[in-house]
Amino acid sequence: MKSAVVQLPGLNRDRDMIAALTKISGRAPVTVWQTETEIPDVDLIVIPGGFSYGDYLRCGAIAARMPVMQAIKAKAEQGVRVLGVCNGFQILVEAGLLPGALMRNASLKFVCREVKLEVVNAETDFTRAYAKGQVIRSPVAHHDGNYFADAETLKAVEGNGQVVFRYAEGTNPNGSINDIAGVMNGKGNVLGMMPHPENLIEVAHGGSDGRGIFASALDVIAA
């Protein structure tokens, strides 16, 4: 499976993402710059983390209006898998590809630590490598990861199985409503998550709990 990593000014987790995708799929992802209006033929598009446009206005707000996002929207509509991690998640909600919004952490502090994630939905393109209810470790590093959706949206998101990950065992680091750590769109091909699975994929990272997300999305699950 071929993948692409989007690059925008201020994103700084792209190198980690490129390394993770290369190691797990065996081929380097193509990189796509923000001004590009066409995306090569790939199976997975990843928007990595960082601080696009310095988090000015609202996190992800300006990036979400760049030309490349129109191309990503078109690909998403065609069914191409799209994964947004951290700032990538913020960009996807700002672009309207995912429901809800990400607000300042309830503690008002930047959090950089490890949390536990419950795999709420294991029947998705991104989580087939896990079992439902499985608890995995994942690093987080963000200032604005406090997921919010109005009551009606929340009901729909919960009811449709769009909540993919929840912070588990009391590790919610940001005050997210219903402990939501990752949500997908109704069609199931776009996932956004605040935690950084790309930073826990091999022994050198101290574990490989995050590997399954990429293995699922890239269809490289060992039988």
Partner 1 sequence: MIKARVTVTLKNGVLDPQGKAIEGALGALGFDGIGQVRQGKVFDLQLETADKARAEAELKAMCEKLLANTVIENYSISLA
Residues assigned a catalytic role: 86, 196, 198
223 Cβ contact partners less than 8 Å away, ≥ 6 residues apart: none
Question: Residues 123, 150, 169, 219: which binds partner 1 (CB under 8 A)?
Answer: 150
Kindly tell me which of 39 and 61 has the beta carbon lying closer to partner 1: 61
Kindly tell me which of 151 and 203 has the beta carbon lying closer to partner 1: 151
Task: Pick out residues in 11-50 that bind partner 1 (CB under 8 A).
Answer: none
Question: Residues 19, 148, 160, 202: which binds partner 1 (CB under 8 A)?
Answer: 148
Q: What is the smallest separation between the CB atom of 148 and partner 1, expressed in angstroms?
A: 6
How deeply is 38 buried, as exposed, middle or buried, from its count of CB atoms within 10 A (0-12, 13-18, 19+)? exposed
Compute φ and ψ for 6, nearest 5 degrees.
-85, 135
Kindly tell me which of 17 and 93 has the beta carbon lying closer to partner 1: 93
**Which residue, among 44, 38, 46, 57, has the nearest Cα to 11 in the 3D structure?**
46
Task: Pick out residues in 163-182 that bind partner 1 (CB under 8 A).
Answer: 175
Q: Strands 44-47 and 135-142, how do they pair? A: unpaired
Please, what is the Cα angle at 136 between 80 and 161, to 5 degrees?
50
Please, what is the Cα angle at 102 between 97 and 104, to 5 degrees?
160
Kindly tell me which of 106 and 131 has the beta carbon lying closer to partner 1: 106
Question: Residues 35, 37, 78, 108: which binds partner 1 (CB under 8 A)?
Answer: 108
Q: Which stretch binds partner 1 (CB under 8 A): 10-18, 79-87, 92-100, 131-139?
A: 92-100
How deeply is 100 buried, as exposed, middle or buried, from its count of CB atoms within 10 A (0-12, 13-18, 19+)? buried
- DSSP secondary structure code for residue 55 in this structure: G
Question: Residues 47, 69, 82, 101: which binds partner 1 (CB under 8 A)?
Answer: 101
Note the residues at the interface with partner 1 (CB under 8 A): 57-58, 61-62, 65, 93-94, 100-101, 103-108, 146, 148-150, 175
